[in-house]
Every structure is written in C-alpha cells, then in structure tokens.
Amino acid sequence: MKKSPLPVQNVNRSDKNVAGKEALVKLLRWHFGHGDFRGKQLEAIQAVVSGRDCFCLMPTGGGKSICYQIPALAKPGIVLVVSPLIVSLFFSHASFKWFFEKIILCLMKENQVMALKEKGIAAEYLSSTQATHVRNKIHEDLDSGKPSVRLLYVTPELIATKGFMLKLRKLHDRGLLNLIAIDEAHCISSWGHDFRPSYRQLSTLRDSLTDVPVLALTATAAPKVQKDVIDSLSLRNPLVLKSSFNRPNIFYEVRYKDLIDNAYTDLCNMLKSCGKICAIIYCLERTTCDDLSLHLTSTGISSAAYHAGLNSHLRSTVLDDWLSSKKQVIVATGIDKKDVRMVCHFNVPKSMESFYQESGRAGRDQLPSRSVLYYGVDDRKKMEFLLRNLENKKSPSSSSKKPTSDFEQIVRYCEGSGCRRKKILESFGEEFPVQQCKKTCDACKHPNQVARSLEELTTTASRRHNSSRVFITSSSDNKTNEGQYSEFWNRNEDGSNSDEEISDSDDGADVVKSLAGPKLSRKLGVDEKLVLLERAEEKYNESNKQVKKSEKNAISETLRESSKQRLLNELTKVLQLLGVKEIDSQNASEFLENECYRKYSKAGKSFYYSQIASTVRWLGTASRDELMTRLSSMAREEETSGEPILVTEPSQNIEQEDGTTYTAEPQVDEPTQLLVTSPSRSPISLPEIPSFSEFVNRRKMKHSTDGSDGKKPAKIMKLK
C-alpha cells in the first residue's frame, strides 16, 4: 500500500524527542507495519539518531535494515547506505551454488529501493548499471541544495571515486548528511569470510566526514572481525550491540555420506519428501554442482546448476536453467527472500562462519526450516588439503592470516556428538544451555541414533582410509608452517582462479543485460521481469529447436577439451592429496577422457558427459592403490608399442567399501578393457568405474538375482 506523505521529523539534531521510543515506534508502525522493534533495533536507532557511532551485530534476517531506514525517517538529511550489490558468495574460491544468486540479487536490490518508494520513502540507488539519465537525475537532486532523497544506496566502489567523495563533502558541509550506514561491514576485514578490497576505501570516510555518525552492520560474529571493523572505520566510542545468534526456527542436522549408499539419492528423497519447497544447495566444486543438477533434474526436481565459472558458452543456457530452477531451488542473499525452507550443504563448508551465514538463509520469515549438512571424510580431507595449500602460499607477513581452527570448528560440529546448536553458538562465543535447544537439532532429538552413526563413521572411515586418523584432527595436523594461516576465500588470492569466478564488477546487471537486453526496464517489478525473462526463454528454446538433434548430440572437440581439463583439475588435486608423484597428470587425464570417449561417443553427449562425471567422482573417492592400479595401466599401455589389446573381461569379484564383494559380469556387447601388460608383470583387469546409480543397481542386482542374469548394470538404470 502506498503511504500518504512522509511525516519526516523536521527537527534539529539536538532535539531529544527524535530519539524517543514512542516517536520511533510510530514511524516503524506507520511505514513498515511492524508492531514493535525487534532485538537491539531500538538501541541501535537511538544511538545513531543521537549522533553516536554504533557497531551492530545481528544475525542474518535479524532486521538490520530497519536500523538505518528508521533514522532516515526520524531526521532530515540523507542516510547514505553503503552496500555491496553482489553479496558474499561469489567471492568464494571454488565455491559453487545452485541458483542464480547474481541475477536475482541484481533485481532484488532494485526491488528493495522500489519497496521503500512504495512505502512513501524517498530511496534511490546509484550504480553503474543504471541508465545515464536516471543517474543524472539523482545527481541533480543531490546537487539541488534541498535533496528529496532520504536513503541513498551506493556501492563501496562509488565511494572510492573522487567525484562522489567531493559530492558527499558538499552535502556534509550543508548539513545534509544524516548518517552513514555500512551494511555487510565485515567485508572491510581480511579476517572475515568475505573480504573485499573495495571496502577498505571506506576507512577514509571518517576523516572526510568527521561528525556524521557511522553505523556498521554485520552478521559476522567473529570477535577479530568486530575489532577490525571498528578500527578500520575509525568508529569513535561506538555503542557495540550484539544480538543472540540463535536461530530457533532452524532445525540443524548432519548426514554422513560415508554411511549412506548414495548421497545423491538421499538428497533427492529428502527434497521430494518436503514437497515443493524453496531450497538452496551448496556444493564445493563445479563438477559436483553439475552432476547433482543433472541428477536432481532427472528425478523430476526442477533445479539448475549455476557456478561462478560459467563461461560465455554456458552462459547462453543460464536463462533456461534459472527459469526452471525458480520453481523450487531459489536464492536469497542479503535480500529479503523469506521463504527458503531448506539450506543444504552437499560438501562440508570451510568454516563455521560460512556455514552459519549460508544456513541462515533458511527461515528468514521465522517459520520452521531446515539446515542439512552432508559430511564425508573425503570432503573433509579435500578441504584440509585446500586450506593447507592456501596457507603455504601466503607470506608470513600477510595480514589475512587466519587459523585453520575455523575449519576444525565445523569438523567438530559434524564429528562431535553434542548439541549442534550449542556448537554453533559457542563458536561465536555465545553460551547456550543445551536444554534451550528443545530438540531442534538431530543430536538432541535422536541422541542415540547420532551416537550410533558416529561410531559407525569411525569404523567405516578408518577401514576405508586405512588409517586410524579419521576423526577430528588436532590443529597441528593442519599446519604445515607453524603460525602461517590464511583467509581461505581471500579475494586477492582468488585472482589466480579467475576462471572459476564471475567478475567482481559493480554488480551483476551485466548478466541480466546479457540475458534480457533492454527489455528489462528498471521501472518494472520483479514479477514483470520474470515474465519477460520467461518469454526470452521461450524464444531461446524456439531458436534452439532449430538446431538438429544430431548436431546437439555430437561430442565436439571443445567438449572433449573441457572434459580433459575437468579430469586434469581433479586428478592434479587427488594426486597431490595422496602424494602420488609417479603419474603424469596430463597424460592420465587424456587417457581417462579417451576411455570415456571410446565407450560413449556413439551413445551420445549425455552418456559421454555422465561417464566423465562419474570418472571425476571416482577420482575423488579412489584410494591410492585403486588410483595406482588404474593409472599404471596407462603407463603400460604407453609402453606397448601398438594399440592396447582388448579382450573380454572374465567375471571377477570386486571388493566393496562395506567389505562384501560383488561379481562384475562380463560385458556382453562392449568388452571392458583388459590391457596387456609387459611380460614381466601379470595382467591386471580393470573394473569399470561405476557411477553411483550403477553401483546401487549392481548391489540391488546382486541381492535380487545373485548377479547371474548377465545383464550389464549400466543398461538397467539410466545414468543420471
């Protein structure tokens, strides 16, 4: 509903009534329809309205925006809101998401300002994505001497420009700057999970605009970040407000990958059992993201994989994916998307802080929601390896050192037996009596079951990994250079991985532009834009139909090259992780790709692609011995002068992870390779790498028919 003209308080800054609770609550009710302030909102507002700096720590969805929106209504002048248009996660190295965060965010930010306007609040945002005439109009208003705008959203990059800084000084000299609000203030700190160099420029604000109160807002609770933010922004005697980080409406749960047959299937079943909910799934790697997306889609769950490494070729399909994913797998980052019912981490996150931020996107409407973390010992090892690598790369003098104990906290969360909620809150220095959890985590609700799972995990993992060190590692295990720590997702660090990122431009509008072109008028609401995007999708599909089916199915050289690269990336990581030096990763990746090509090129692109994906997956879980066996045959193949001789593979018993064996049947129409070895060595037969679905089918087959029907497993269940 559009409000009647804004009853802005035209009073002097010294007027105490402005900061009175009654007047402020009246504004809250009038403009936002909320009955009363929540948590520390009132204290924060009263502090800044009376001219005091404030550091406000509030959990995700806690209501930080009100803390600067109400002051804009309570006092004359402009509230400058510095806020990144693209929030956090796109700055994660090798971090992949399931949705179109960047695009939606871009629209939503605009929507946020529009929502304020709807409420009768004169809000604007200045960004490089705006049309010049819109920008000019805002600048004219600012230069007018009597600006009508009350809330001006800007990016940190804009603040860093000389021209804009000059403008701010002019406004300040005329007494027109009411407050400077720094949203997502943790971005200024290299200790935080989302450091951005552009935020560093904000440290000059205090020097230039000395007497304007500054309000720093963040949901990042680490004490080091807090201190860093306060120091960097030169806050003067700030009122420090901290709210509890407890999110009582989120049910926390950990599922152990090592104890379930197929994590993909488990996730699918879980999503299906929840009905048509809005969910977010986080994966660590692009391959998992692609793979999982394929799998979910094939089981009828509308979803789309999006990862920061989308190249222009893949980008052309973004719209298609996005529109299908909006049916169920949707995003909300730093925006008011309230109804995310489930956040799922398919791989262990790098720290408790990231986990808290990401899982916190569930249930912003305070309704019951779920956080599900799939934990696997392999994933943990991978992450430890990545962290160690980054630590080693950092110079000892680096300012962004960070203890790897951050990761250990999340490992403890998964591998420990106590209340999950308590573990989260204690990691932020908050005491939490277990009774208050009220069975809202799996460990409190089903303590015996969790205890059993943990016991099983110890046994299974120690057997699989042939090591007793499967449980929580001591911090020293993770330190390769004593005292050298680093910020894992450090933005600077990521420069070398630009391939896996979308550029840190002012915002994501370029993506939107590239998809929808000029049709996306800024006057349109999000719903209307979605309709337009849907039409664009139809058009896109129309034009795609014209491409011949056979062409679509062909495996291009580019696809083969990218598959080789994908295998090479995985292989390099795995070889390093396992300390294998004897294998040439370049040759090995070519060998593996060639194998997939030889087997599946005739069946079509998706079969080939699935086989690549399953090989990548196999690489991620293979033990040193398995890897050596498989790849050493490559060396032998090279040793033999001609082509490797292919013979039909005899039945063989293959030992499975659970200690049982299954009989791999001979391949009737497509012989599995048996590479003839050099005379000095006995021949080694190579088992086919099973995909998850094949693996499950084989097991089922073994149980039901004792594996004697001679059918090829891959033919029974379609590859996902």
Ligand X SMILES: Nc1ncnc2c1ncn2[C@@H]1O[C@H](COP(=O)(O)OP(=O)(O)OP(=O)(O)O)[C@@H](O)[C@H]1O
Q: Output the smallest distance, CB 41 to ligand X, in A.
A: 6
Q: Which two tokens stand for residue 80?
A: 């400058």
Binding mask 397-416 for ligand X (x = CB under 6 A): --------------------
Query: Could you give the count of Cα atoms lying within 13 Å of 462 in the half-sphere of its Cβ?
Result: 10
Instruction: Select the binding partner of residue 338 from ligand X, Mg ion, none (C-beta < 5 to 8 A, by kind).
Output: ligand X
Q: Output the smallest distance, CB 58 to Mg ion, in A.
A: 9
**Whole-Å CA distances, 574 to 463, 582, 622, 692:** 19, 13, 9, 19
Is residue 64 close enough to count as binding ligand X by CB under 6 A? yes
Q: Quick one: 152 or 520, whose CB is closer to ligand X? A: 152
One-letter identity of residue 182: I
Stretch that binds ligand X, among 55-63, 207-215, 235-243, 453-461 (CB under 6 A): 55-63
Q: Output the smallest distance, CB 43 to ligand X, in A.
A: 13
Within its chain, how far is the Cα of 687 from the centroid? 35
Name which position in 18, 24, 49, 61 contacts ligand X (CB under 6 A). 61
Q: How far apart are CA 668 and CA 706, in angstroms?
A: 18
Length in residues, the chain: 720
Is residue 37 close enough to count as binding ligand X by CB under 6 A? yes
Is residue 338 close enough to count as binding ligand X by CB under 6 A? yes
Q: Output the smallest distance, CB 69 to ligand X, in A.
A: 8
Q: Which two tokens stand for residue 432?
A: 């939490």
Instruction: Select the binding partner of residue 58 from ligand X, Mg ion, none (C-beta < 5 to 8 A, by kind).
Output: ligand X
Binding mask 53-82 for Mg ion (x = CB under 5 A): -----------x------------------
8 A C-beta contact, residue 307 and residue 369: no
Q: Which residue's beta carbon is nearest to the bound Mg ion?
A: 64
Name which position in 13, 38, 167, 170 contacts ligand X (CB under 6 A). 38
Helix (H), strand (E) at residue 369: strand 369-375
Name which position in 71, 334, 363, 690 contacts ligand X (CB under 6 A). 334
Is residue 62 close enough to count as binding ligand X by CB under 6 A? yes
Q: Quick one: 338 or 535, whose CB is closer to ligand X? A: 338
Is residue 63 close enough to count as binding ligand X by CB under 6 A? yes
Q: How far apart are CA 582 and CA 580, in angstroms?
A: 6
Stretch that binds ligand X, among 37-45, 407-415, 452-460, 697-705 (CB under 6 A): 37-45
545 burial level (CB within 10 Å; 0-12, 13-18, 19+): exposed
Instruction: Select the binding partner of residue 192 from ligand X, Mg ion, none (C-beta < 5 to 8 A, by kind).
Output: none
Q: Quick one: 64 or 295, whose CB is closer to Mg ion? A: 64
Q: Output the smallest distance, CB 627 to ligand X, in A.
A: 43
Q: Quick one: 71 or 147, whose CB is closer to ligand X? A: 71
Q: Where are the beta strands (DSSP E) in 177-238?
A: 177-182, 214-218
Question: Which residue in 349, 343, 410 sits closest to 370, CA to CA?
Answer: 343
Is residue 21 close enough to count as binding ligand X by CB under 6 A? no
Q: How far apart are CA 517 and CA 511, in angstroms?
A: 9
**Residues in 216-255 that interact with ligand X by CB under 6 A:** 219
**Residues in 152-211 that interact with Mg ion by CB under 5 A:** none
Is residue 596 close enough to count as binding ligand X by CB under 6 A? no
Q: Quick one: 362 or 714, whose CB is closer to ligand X? A: 362
Q: Quick one: 184 or 595, whose CB is closer to ligand X? A: 184
Q: Which two tokens stand for residue 34?
A: 């909320």
Q: How far apart are CA 415 and CA 402, in angstroms?
A: 22
Question: Which residue in 5, 8, 70 sits closest to 36, CA to CA?
Answer: 70
Q: How far apart are CA 249 and CA 575, in angstroms?
A: 43
Question: Which residue in 462, 464, 470, 388 sits closest to 624, CA to CA?
Answer: 464
Q: Output the smallest distance, CB 219 to Mg ion, in A.
A: 8
Q: Quick one: 60 or 691, whose CB is closer to ligand X? A: 60
One-letter identity of residue 545: K
Is residue 508 close enough to count as binding ligand X by CB under 6 A? no
Name which position in 40, 45, 54, 60 contacts ligand X (CB under 6 A). 60
Q: Quick one: 45 or 158, whose CB is closer to ligand X? A: 45
Q: Which two tokens stand for residue 575?
A: 């070889």
Q: Output the smallest distance, CB 16 to ligand X, in A.
A: 23
Q: How far apart are CA 425 and CA 421, in angstroms?
A: 6
8 A C-beta contact, residue 287 and residue 616: yes
Is residue 34 close enough to count as binding ligand X by CB under 6 A? yes
Q: How far apart are CA 596 and CA 611, in angstroms?
A: 6
Buried b (16+ CB within 10 A) or exposed e, 388-409: bebbeebeeebebbbbbbbbbb
Q: How far apart are CA 264 and CA 293, in angstroms?
A: 10
Site size toward Mg ion (CB under 5 A) is: 1
- Interface residues with Mg ion (CB under 5 A) are 64
User: What residue ranges bind ligand X (CB under 6 A)?
Assistant: 34, 37-38, 41, 58, 60-66, 219, 334, 336, 338, 364
